[in-house]
Structure 1
Amino acid sequence: MKKEIGAWWALLTFVIMITAMFIAIVALEQGPHVPLIIGTITAAIVAKMHGFKWNEIEGMMYKGIRLALPAIVIIILVGLVIGAWIGGGVVATMIYYGLKLISPAWFLVTIMLLCAIVSLAIGSSWSTMATIGVAGMGIGLSMGIPAAMIAGAVISGSYFGDKMSPLSDTTNLAAGLTGTNLFEHIKHMLYTTVPALTIAFIVFGIMGRSFADISMKSEEILTTLTVMEESFVISPWLLLVPIGVIVLVAVKVPAIPALVVGIISGFLLQIFVQGGTTAEAVAALQEGFVIATGNEMVDELFNRGGLDSMMYTVSMTIVAMTFGGILEYSGMLKALMNVIIKMAKSTGSLIASTIAACITTNATCSEQYISIVVPSRMFAEAYEKRGLHSKNLSRALEDGGTLTSVFFPWNTCGVFILATLGVGAMEYAPYAILNFLVPIISIIYAYVGFAIVKMTPEEIAAAEQRRKKEEQEVTV
């Protein structure tokens, strides 16, 4: 007979996984796969102890994996894009002109602004990081800027656009699940996101000053440019490929066909523009592009990409979602949420609890979408009973869920960034300024009462009527 899993059991499962993760990553300097497997085994044992059958537990794991399948497909395609675009000379062209045009002192600000604009236009942080972000990493590293700083600027800009774009899936998800008008939701998020973006610009501007003395005519950079010219056909016409992919996504072509267009374009460019063989172009897609110029910087920049490079990411995503699936479908996550809700005694603590719940879900279930879906179900009634407009909840879901997913190495977003930008969550976390400032600003607003919207009497009456109708339907 099944018994409801208490919050303490759920917390124990979470603590064991986090402890194993800390030991593996910090003490042993290993990856997060084994700790996540330990977490999955622990969660399965707890579920079994509470009456769940093995076939039910197995089904929970498969449900979790199914949630991540769209992300896995995108991750695989991004590996192919990187291999194709490097082989086709697209990445080399972006880096080449970037080195010639962008000043080191303003690079961090420029790349953040560029990522924000592109992500706002296409509604996808992942697509932005896989295109503009990859090129930005190459340009910044060539200038001698630390990888973690560059990644932080790319992530901050990309997630601003992802959060504020009406084309973003997470933005539409948060608005839709809470019954909030999409543009009211976006407008309400301006209060927390714009101040965070402004602060990030200022901080990156100050950081950039330390690189002002780097000369764009230095011997190292000139050598890098020369080696790239010798190794690739560099042409501004090649920039039409990333521009084309961005335009396709902006006009609402789904991400998968848009990325496939980018892959095919890069593949053909490697053969017909760069002079590679068909076998080399196929190898770039499967194993990644390979080049040996003798220049350490160039070789490091361009020896990457391909399907094989994403298998670490794919395996981590699958393992993470087996753990998250058991937590979600066994009721353990719900038990943790209920404890959090009971602790919320004021408007400030309710919003802070929502953000904390989103962060907890990102940490435990390893998937950004779950961090919006589950808390939206758990907190909707509490917001209504306090007379708070649904856009307060939708904003809190994005502030706590969408943005904090990048801080967990085992979350699909943290995994994707590691695979795409080559920088781990522990390294870029201090520089993902927008991502950690927005939740803080949101909580401050909640406690001081700024930008918190109440429901009108008509909206309160409609909410009560809807609740009564739902209760009657359940009774029947």
Structure 2
Amino acid sequence: MTETKKTGERLPNVFEAFLPVLVLLGLMLANFLFEWGNDPHIYVLLAAITCCVVGKLCNVPLSEMMAAGFASISQILEALFILLFVGCLVGSFEWAGVIPAIVYYGLQIFTPAVFLPAVVVLCAIVGLSLGSSYTVSATLGIAFMSIGATMGINPAMIAGAVLSGACTGDKFSPLSDSTNLAAAASQTGLFDHVKAMIGTTFPAFLIAFVIYCVMSLTGKAGTYDPELVDGLSNAIKDNFAYMSPVLLLPVAVIILVAILQMPGIPGVLLASLTGCIFAVIFQGASFAECIAMVHYGYSAETGNELADTLLNRGGMDSMLWTINMALIAIGFGGMYSRCGAVERLLGGMIKKIRTPFHLMAAVIVTAMFCILTMCDQYLGLIIPPAMYKEKIDDMGLSRNVLSRCTEDGGTLFSALVPWSSCGVYHSSMLGVSTMAYLPYCFTNILNPIISLATAAWGGNIIFADGSRTGFFGGKVKAGKPAGAPAEEHEHALKRLAELRADGTYKEIGK
């Protein structure tokens, strides 16, 4: 976060430091209140321009402001390419019938007694396979809202279950844009980041699942009407030349990629290739159609609106909106840090951090602050790592602690903010206001609470050498170091040795 101040440079005053955020927040709120219907890209761009103005007032050369933005972008180029290839994957999976098969067979299991727990589990599975809570919300989410309504279940409960499952699957998916972005911004390994979330996000999901089971078993549901389910199932089955549980096998490839900890790009491309092969074998696709499916996605007209919403997705082109947003937002984050605004607003707090709990709490709160004030989850994933990565290293902690806490307070929280782009999207897709479904998004609510609680009693702490404490603290167990820049990792290991020598941290096995 910190930059060497050159002659004539100064930190912005508090108003100047807040000005880019005020510009962005004002435009976002106006867009929401006056229903302009604009995407956030230009608003973030205007905020970035405001950063340049603030930098000029503080005597920071425009060339250095631009360089800071480009430097931030260069750190996540791999993640951006992964996003493109994820679009290819979704297109091939749609054409092969993999995603439709997940929906087709998943819909067969529902009864009122198991509806909510089935929703959260199925949304988590599909979220894991797609790497997108947005896609789950816009496909399964829409279907489940309609099905649940026939059972007399509160729509807010259904929406909460959809998002609890979808967001969990998204976070654990190596295909997720936000998961890749959090790892890249923290400069740690993708699967190191995913493994770190097991200690906080997975317990939150398990508790949420139990709550949905209790609600489903004790709640009162109306008469089950299978007509909607049958209509969707028939539309899916009639649209494909072959529909069988065999089509679920490519999902196992994604799981295998995660187990083998294959690098993101090869893993996504392998899964995309598998989808293409299945499309050729089972749906009769040609080579030219394989090229089309990974570029433009799948297109169908089944006569069933819900089925068309489910099927017409994917392709490299479909990811350009997200990539454009990421480029502008990440550039803004770099500029905002370079002009000294972050240091002015939060630098004093960073200097007061003394314990891992304080640091984790600061990262989580900062991520939430970014989403509340800047209205987009990408900024909540970019700014905290820029601010705290030096402090993480100086305290001898692992970089995947930083990425995990960024997600704990960032991505999962963004769906609960009514004026964030994420909250607006899910509310629109599911037809339920954000404030209505918020109390039922148990995973999203519990995740940061569990993260803070475990850190408070010394649990889920991962050190630079890979050693870590368990969920409830206790002995420090040896482990494999997470990915990190070489020079910074050496510094973190040195600081860890010093802190263990003076008794601040326990030795491995103690």
CA distance in 2, matches of 1:102, 1:224: 14
CA distance in 1, matches of 2:433, 2:82: 23
- 1:14 equivalenced with 2:21 (yes/no): yes
Change (3 A) 1:258 1:171: same
For residues 66-215 of structure 1, the aligned pairs below 5 Å read 66-103=74-111, 105-113=113-121, 127=131, 136-137=140-141, 140=144, 143-144=147-148, 148-158=159-169, 161=172, 190=199, 196-205=204-213, 208=216, 212-213=221-222, 215=224
Q: 2:387 — aligned with what?
A: 374
Displacement of 1:160 in angstroms is 7.0
Displacement of 1:207 in angstroms is 5.6
CA distance in 2, matches of 1:194, 1:264: 30
* Structure 1: gaps (5+ residues): 467-476
Q: 2:266 — aligned with what?
A: 257
CA distance in 2, matches of 1:443, 1:254: 30
Q: 1:239 — aligned with what?
A: 248
- 1:289 equivalenced with 2:302 (yes/no): no
Whether the 8 Å CA contact 1:17–1:36 is kept in 2: the answer is: yes
- 1:23 equivalenced with 2:27 (yes/no): no
Change (3 A) 1:96 1:73: same
Displacement of 1:44 in angstroms is 0.9
2:283 counterpart SS class? coil
CA distance in 2, matches of 1:424, 1:318: 30
CA distance in 1, matches of 2:99, 2:180: 27
Displacement of 1:347 in angstroms is 9.7
- 1:337 equivalenced with 2:346 (yes/no): yes
Change (3 A) 1:79 1:330: same
2:315 counterpart SS class? coil
Change (3 A) 1:115 1:399: farther
Show CA shifts across 1:21-57 (max 9, x none). 1112343332211211121111111011111222212
- 1:356 equivalenced with 2:365 (yes/no): yes
Change (3 A) 1:465 1:298: closer
Whether the 8 Å CA contact 2:408–2:448 is kept in 1: the answer is: no
CA distance in 1, matches of 2:235, 2:117: 27
CA distance in 2, matches of 1:279, 1:425: 41
Show CA shifts across 1:222-276 (max 9, x none). 2322222211110111111111222122111122222212222222333332134
- 1:300 equivalenced with 2:313 (yes/no): no
Change (3 A) 1:348 1:289: closer
Letter in 2 for 1:463: L
CA distance in 1, matches of 2:390, 2:259: 30
CA distance in 2, matches of 1:141, 1:195: 26
Displacement of 1:220 in angstroms is 2.3
CA distance in 1, matches of 2:497, 2:95: 61
Show CA shifts across 1:66-100 (max 9, x none). 23323322222222222111111111211111111
CA distance in 2, matches of 1:219, 1:354: 48
Show CA shifts across 1:289-333 (max 9, x none). 111121222122212222222222111111111211101233322
1:366 counterpart SS class? helix
Change (3 A) 1:357 1:154: same
1:435 aligned residue (444, 464, 468): 444
Displacement of 1:131 in angstroms is 9.4
Displacement of 1:423 in angstroms is 7.1
Deviates more, 1:310-319 or 1:268-277: 268-277
* Structure 2: gaps (5+ residues): 1-7, 150-154, 460-471, 477-494, 503-510
CA distance in 1, matches of 2:137, 2:270: 19
Q: 1:463 — aligned with what?
A: 499
Deviates more, 1:438-447 or 1:351-360: 438-447
Letter in 1 for 2:147: M
Displacement of 1:439 in angstroms is 2.5
Letter in 2 for 1:3: R
1:304 counterpart SS class? coil
Change (3 A) 1:140 1:60: same
Q: 2:238 — aligned with what?
A: 230
For residues 382-401 of structure 1, the aligned pairs below 5 Å read 398-399=404-405, 401=407
When the two structures are aligned, how many residues end up with a matched partner?
Answer: 437
RMSD: 4.7
CA distance in 2, matches of 1:16, 1:395: 31
TM, length-normalised to structure 1: 0.73
Deviates more, 1:34-43 or 1:259-268: 259-268
Change (3 A) 1:141 1:242: farther
Whether the 8 Å CA contact 2:71–2:334 is kept in 1: the answer is: yes
